[in-house]
């Protein structure tokens, strides 16, 4: 698991505290590049740094280019040690990665992330820090660590016809950090209905950026996919790129999928997945709801149950199209 330090919610040290679902304790997240983040978002230099770092693709593309070079392999050992990454889970042996990005997008051995088999169970799509909202207030602003966004902004103009169907629905934010396995999976059986691309910024998804009320989720580069889940109904699956993410790559080629099938992966950098569900279609697990109501993220693995289907799927019929 990612390297962390046991801490309490009242811990006065600076850092990000999350709840480890498996151990049941609060842990402190180790942030890769935290000094750069503090400089970019918390210093007087912020106005000078914001546009070159986050307003164009240049910096993320340069980082992505370097992460794809053989020279970047020298960073793997120190990153693995700093973040406590277990390379025994990986298909590729520790010395077998062609580049840092090859390591970052690593595949895991079969069975490392089992998905619950029951059709009515919704699973986490990724290793992440999870926050849930059981019932949204129409299209009201959704607060996440100091930032706010609206469903209409998340879906953008291509999804304007769908926004109302998600009003009063349920939503979860899955925040990935550099320590995580960065391939993501379908949370249940179903099929894809529509997909489109939005955004032109590359802000960090770290809570430090969100606390500055940066509109990360509605301005960053993102991919929106509308899913028709067999036991649940329609859901929006939104991959949000972030600082350093050179690409969001979709690997699944069929319109139908099974729970646990790989949907895609993020190249080097931080990233987030947001899932939105129609009202009354799912019930998030009680522990996730309780912790989220306190503003606490929960550390979960891909495949872990996070919700159950509440009722037969509903039936709005968006026109099929592929962007």
The first and second tokens of residue 22, run together, are: 């498996």
- Catalytic residue status for 271: yes
- Catalytic residue status for 182: no
Q: Pick the catalytic residue: 127, 180, 228, 285?
A: 127
Q: Pick the catalytic residue: 19, 182, 185, 203?
A: 185
Distances (CA, A) of 90 to 70, 102, 159, 217, 265: 19, 11, 37, 30, 15
| CA distance linking residue 153 with residue 139, whole number of Å | 10
The first and second tokens of residue 286, run together, are: 């009680």
Q: Pick the catalytic residue: 165, 271, 281, 292?
A: 271
- Catalytic residue status for 127: yes
Residues 6+ apart with CB under 8 A from 293: none
> What amino acid positions are annotated as catalytic residues?
127, 185, 271
């Amino acid at each position: 698991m990612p390297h962390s330090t046991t801490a309490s919610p009242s811990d006065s040290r600076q850092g990000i505290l999350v709840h480890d679902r498996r151990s049941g304790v609060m842990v402190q997240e180790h942030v890769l590049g935290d000094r750069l983040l503090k400089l970019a978002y918390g210093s007087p230099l912020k106005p000078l740094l914001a546009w070159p770092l986050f307003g164009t693709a240049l910096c993320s593309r340069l980082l992505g280019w370097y992460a794809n070079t053989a020279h970047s392999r020298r960073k793997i050992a120190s990153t693995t040690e700093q973040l406590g990454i277990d390379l025994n889970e990986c298909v590729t042996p520790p010395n077998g990665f062609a580049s840092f990005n090859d390591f970052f997008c690593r595949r895991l051995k079969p069975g490392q992330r089992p998905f619950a088999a029951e059709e009515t169970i919704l699973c986490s799509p990724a290793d992440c820090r999870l926050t849930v909202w059981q019932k949204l207030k129409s299209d009201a602003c959704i607060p996440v660590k100091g930032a706010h966004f609206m469903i209409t902004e998340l879906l953008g103009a291509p999804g304007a016809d769908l926004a109302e169907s998600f009003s009063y629905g349920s939503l979860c934010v899955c925040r990935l950090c550099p320590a995580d396995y960065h391939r993501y999976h379908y949370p249940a059986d179903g099929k894809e209905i529509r997909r489109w691309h939005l955004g032109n910024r590359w802000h960090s998804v770290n809570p430090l950026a969100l606390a500055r009320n940066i509109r990360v989720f509605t301005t960053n580069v993102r991919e929106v996919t509308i899913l028709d889940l067999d036991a649940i109904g329609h859901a929006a699956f939104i991959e949000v790129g972030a600082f350093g993410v050179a690409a969001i790559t979709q690997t699944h080629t069929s319109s139908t999928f099974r729970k646990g099938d790989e949907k895609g992966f993020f190249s080097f950098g931080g990233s987030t997945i947001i899932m939105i569900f129609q009202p009354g279609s799912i019930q998030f697990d009680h522990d996730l709801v309780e912790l989220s109501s306190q503003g606490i993220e929960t550390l979960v693995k891909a495949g872990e149950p996070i919700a159950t289907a509440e009722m037969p799927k509903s039936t709005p019929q968006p026109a099929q199209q592929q962007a």
